[in-house]
Amino acid sequence: MFRLIASACLIVGLCSPLSAEDICIACDGPEATYRCAPELPGNAGNAELRATVGTKACTTVLAKAGGHKSCHAVQTSEPCTGNLRAVTLTDYQRAIAGDGQPSTYEPGALELARRNVHETWICVTSLFGDC
């Protein structure tokens, strides 16, 4: 029983998004709204730099991944109602690499496992509404 509780606490701690760093992104053509959680390294600088880098990564990756004409960050007094999407710097690098260019990047086993657990956690916590 103790192992089960410890495992659940570890998964929640590793996978739950940091809502303080979530960015509300609105996209046009087709229209959509996302709650983006940029996953930046711990040494990515001060809060202002992290926000700037996170916003740039989110807008670029979500525009390309969703086939949108453009995306931009929006400031709202209301909670952002979009689906949660996690974006990493690796996602950003892939998005700006352009189509048709060979990529030398291959995700490691740890990154794949972490991303799968994170996406599963988002699915479960949304009561299967964001799967």
Q: Residues 17-27: pLDDT tens digits?
A: 334 568 999 99
Average pLDDT of 56-80?
Answer: 90
In this structure, the number of other CB atoms found within 10 A of the CB of residue 53 comes to 16
The pLDDT score that the predictor gives to residue 16 is 39
CA dihedral 36, 42, 44, 48 (to 10 degrees): 60
Q: How far apart are CA 17 and CA 42, in angstroms?
A: 14
What's the pLDDT band for 103 if we cut at 50, 70, 90?
low
Average pLDDT of 75-97?
Answer: 85
The pLDDT score that the predictor gives to residue 118 is 81
Q: How far apart are CA 47 and CA 45, in angstroms?
A: 7
What's the pLDDT band for 120 if we cut at 50, 70, 90?
confident
- pTM of the predicted model as reported, rounded to 2 decimal places: 0.60
Q: Which two tokens stand for residue 19?
A: 């809502």
pLDDT digits (tens, 9 = 90+) for 28-55: 989 999 999 888 776 556 778 778 888 9
